[in-house]
Amino acid sequence: MPEFVTLQVEDGVGTIRLDRPKMNAIDEQLHMEVRAAALEAAGRADVRAVVLYGGERVFAAGADIKAMSVLDGEAMAEWGYELTTSFTRVAEIPKPVIAAVTGYALGGGYELALCADFRVMGAGARIGQPEIQLGVIPGAGGTQRLARLVGPAKAKDLVFTGRHVGAEEALELGLADAVVPDDEVYPTAVAMARKFAAGPPLALAAAKRAIDHGLDMTLGEGLALESRLFAELFDTEDQKTGMRSFLENGPGKAQFSGR
């Protein structure tokens, strides 16, 4: 049984909840439990959207520096590979994923939030990649996902300085997608997730795959991927349901089965 991470499901929304006292520091056990929860959420038909949540006080303050400080390069390569694999499992969940960020999301904590499709921040939350202040660099997606999200210049500013960013600046830079009062972070993320959960699961998965995989392709390759995924959806029950509902009742009224 997991000790620090749970998957709680209600009304089509699965919440991956981090709960490692006191600040959700990311050690090997926690990230492996995150991996297991991500794989479970990906495979469960009753989970149609996912929220990443660290609780009311903090999302995740970063990696467990005490555990990392005793590692040499070879050991860190192995540890970093497993951590990156765990975070990639979150990024590859074929469903909409929203990070609900309260308190701090720093270092590995913000790298985990970067694996989500959207980030909802509390007004008092702070994010950043402070690894440079420890004499290292982000090692679980902070240089790659961050640059893809906001561009290389903004990513370099954050990584080179290691500075913390408040919620309003994060929204302005594109590091966050919404800023709400601290006590409304989780309800807001769940409300967003429920809207996605009402949509067609297969089409949402295809859209996410087309966008995420297309970013690593040439434009021509990306267009070919999009065309293939688009055509494949015409062999699904959801496509028949959606188009029939549109013709008979107008847009936005279809109930999708995920088949």
**Which positions are catalytic?**
111, 131
DSSP result, the chain: --SSEEEEEETTEEEEEE--TTT--B-HHHHHHHHHHHHHHHH-TT--EEEEE--SS-SB--B-HHHHTT--HHHHHHHHHHHHHHHHHHHT-SS-EEEEE-SEEETHHHHHHHTSSEEEEETT-EEE-GGGGGTS---SSTTTHHHHHH-HHHHHHHHHH--EEEHHHHHHHTS-SEEE-GGGHHHHHHHHHHHHHTS-HHHHHHHHHHHHHHTTS-HHHHHHHHHHHHHHGGGSHHHHHHHHHHHHH-TT-------
